[in-house]
Structure 1
């Protein structure tokens, strides 16, 4: 591991080279670059051509990139440029460059940016190569790249200095390209179904739309507290009330909760609502969407998740929560409705304060502890207790079960959906129950949002709604075990002044 002292020495050497480059070129950091192709375009256009065809292209090709490997063989130099997730080899000969350009080549370090111009060739090994006849210096890297071009080994540095991770690991670069393609394909799918993409506030006067602890801010001019949104639900429903029939939003939610391999306080969701639809329609929407995205992003419908193969092609399994307790959680079917049995069970698996909980809540807690992690293949779980679903319509004929599902894949929740509650009187009663729960110490319980209830009192049509965790979907489709590996800049504890973030393996 390089020490801070050695880093300072390396920087001093590079600074001296920079002074010499400035003296040779007159401008070590030019603002304009002449290029005919990006490296991605270069590879796309010329990779498939044979040597004879390449020799027939007489025009000068100009490319630019970061130097990531360099082999000086005396009167010839081979180097690789990196940009956009691809590398291109460049061949330079002393007799093909000016004396100043050749001198410049000996001042270049790994990490520097240069542009080169020349003609096309293939080496003896068949590698597509640019035979350079001119070079220009673009920017000096005063600090070295990770050693040996094998990627960063220190997880902390990978997340904190993601730019180095992207430079040093082509697979990491590919993951984030796939993430971008997934979100673009998601938009395409929703737009083709007639959904309108909208934007709703990120700062709320009253946090709502989910049970979670919010981040609190303050607006100086109005002298009021504001909350980073935990969900866009209540504003999207206002749009359904206002006459939009299908809306969706892809954006960030913020929840002041713990960090884990599946939780980041700032995360991306796609939430949608459709007037005249219900829970079954939301199931069909999500199943079709996820199957489409798997095909678009990965090109197949059977994808690895750790040591397991996830089947996105077959119909997704559908179970009620009570059925899952029996078939997956292996609880006796004649016991799951017994309050005493479920209370004892929940206490034994670590659930606190079970004494005053309803049978529905006890079943829900047991499900979280015993079933969720076992739901590897795509599974819709339906019929949740009303106590954990304050914005959801009741199942017809029931007073304790709501028309809600959660989608589980890979042992984690991927999406949550409802037949939306549109009775303002019932909604107000449930929010009042939530408010009492909050007063008793539950900081995640919802507050009463009178403006939302007023909007509902103007009439809200039946509607189906769902929220899909985009980060977790990217995890699944790219086979990444941690959410931090699919978020470019995950939340990190700030470095203390004494910490040396430049120490790399």
Structure 2
């Protein structure tokens, strides 16, 4: 249990908001599925001023908010981008009871909270494509404040750019810094493209042992562990080479693996003790063939 003396003022306030939501009968961490029907990028891409208003259900993080009496604006960030949410008190709470808007939306929602919004898409007088909220569901209360990165006239203020913090808290880096997510997406696309290329050539993806009795295939210092049942030392692999070659000996013509390798040596920004390596072995070929094959892959 967290000691309240170790919490910042904002963290204490947010825990108070959490308890207040529960007092109002709102579960801040619902287990039920929330069905999303649209994403921010395609809402903006497919919007037409001439078309009938489109009903959508979106979900994501609150990244900013402006409360103006009976109306509020929320900037929502989902996995594909950001969009403005317009919240009218009387549309959100059409009956006599306005507590959800007056208390939850205006006071208890914080930047970083996950919410779901059901409503319709329109364009504001300022020309911004916006979702007009009919209902809001709290999907996850954020108990820690996010860094607030402000951009005005192309200039970024209070940027989250400390290398130590960015690498140690990559999840925060992903939330507040535009473009970081693209690195992850490109990495997956590169892997998928390589797999498609290898598979089309007729070669097979395999998995080989990570725990090895004799680490081999490269020259590096291994991480050592112990197998209790067998009472023997084992090593995290430094390469998957020898096992892939054994599969070639066993009769496969071509095998490849995206493997996690481990080397218990020095580290810096570009050398991690745990890293991903792709190795491919094909029978009846030479290095000239492999150079040509690799060029075509790239």
Same fold (TM over 0.5): yes
State the distance in 2 between where 1:265 and 1:38 align.
Answer: 40
> Cα offset for 1:245?
0.1
> Is this contact kept in 1: 2:53–2:122, CA < 8 A?
no
Q: Distance in 1 between matches of 2:13 and 2:7?
A: 10
Quote the residue 1:324 is aligned against.
none
- Please say if 1:168 is aligned against 2:176: yes
Give the alignment of 1:105-116 within 5 angstroms. 105-106=105-106, 107-116=108-117
CA displacement 1:406-428 (0-9 Å, x = unmatched) = xxxxxxxxxxxxxxxxxxxxxxx
Native 8 Å contact 1:66 1:111 kept in 2: yes
| Whole-angstrom distance in 1 between the partners of 2:122 and 2:85 | 10
In structure 2, how many angstroms separate the alpha carbons of the residues matched to 1:278 and 1:265? 31
Is the counterpart of residue 73 in structure 1 residue 68 in structure 2?
yes
Q: Is the 8 A contact 1:21 1:104 kept in 2?
A: yes
Q: How many residue pairs end up in the alignment?
A: 282
Give 1:185-200 correspondences, 5 Å limit.
185-200=193-208
How far apart, in 2, do the equivalents of 1:162 and 1:10 lie? Answer: 22
The 3-state SS of whatever aligns with 2:109 is coil
Match of 1:255 among 255, 263, 282: 263
Aligned to 2:48: 50
Q: Deviations over 1:50-101 (max 9, x none)?
A: 2222xx035x321111101111122221111112141121111112111132
Q: Equivalent residue for 1:9? A: 9
- Give the direction of change, closer, same or farther, for the CA distance of 1:89–1:152 in structure 2 (3 Å limit): same
Structure 1 position 239, deviation (Å): 0.5
What CA distance in whole angstroms lies between the structure 1 residues aligned with 2:261 and 2:38?
35
Please list, as runs of the form range in 1=range in 2, the aligned pairs for 1:235-384 lying within 5 A after superposition: 235-290=243-298
Correspondent of 1:88 among 83, 86, 95: 83
Post-superposition offset of 1:153: 2.0
Partner of 2:153: none
Residue 166 and residue 116 in structure 1: after superposition, are their counterparts in 2 closer, same or farther (change >3 A)?
A: same
Task: Give the Å deviation of 1:253.
Answer: 0.8
1:431 corresponds to which residue? none
Q: 2:50 is paired with a residue of what secondary structure?
A: helix
TM-score (norm 1): 0.53
The whole-number CA distance in structure 2 between the counterparts of 1:126 and 1:6 is: 45
Q: SS at 1:51's partner residue?
A: coil
Correspondence for 2:121: 120
Instruction: Indicate whether 1:19 and 2:19 are aligned.
Output: yes
**Aligned partners of 2:174, 2:188: CA distance in 1, in Å?**
15
Q: Where do 4+ consecutive residues of structure 1 move more than 3 Å? A: 4-7
* Distance in 2 between residues matched to 1:74 and 1:156, nearest whole Å: 41
Q: Which residue of 2 aligns with 1:101?
A: 100
1:205 and 1:38 map into 2 onto residues whose CA distance is 51
Structure 1 residue 30 displacement after superposition: 1.1
- Return 5+ residue gaps in structure 2 as ranges: 151-157
1:164 deviation in Å?
Answer: 0.5
Rg larger for: 1
User: For residue 204 of structure 1, what is the aligned residue in structure 2?
Assistant: 212
Report the Cα distance in structure 1 between the residues aligned to 2:10 and 2:68, rounded to whole angstroms: 23
**Matched residue of 1:114: which SS?**
strand
Task: Give the TM-score normalised by structure 2.
Answer: 0.89
Q: Cα offset for 1:134? A: 1.1
Whether contact under 8 Å (2:260, 2:275) holds in the other structure is yes
Say which structure is richer in helix.
Answer: 1
Q: Which residue of 2 aligns with 1:34?
A: 34
Comparing both structures, which one devotes a greater share of its residues to strand? 2
Aligned to 2:154: none
Q: Aligned with 1:19: secondary structure?
A: helix
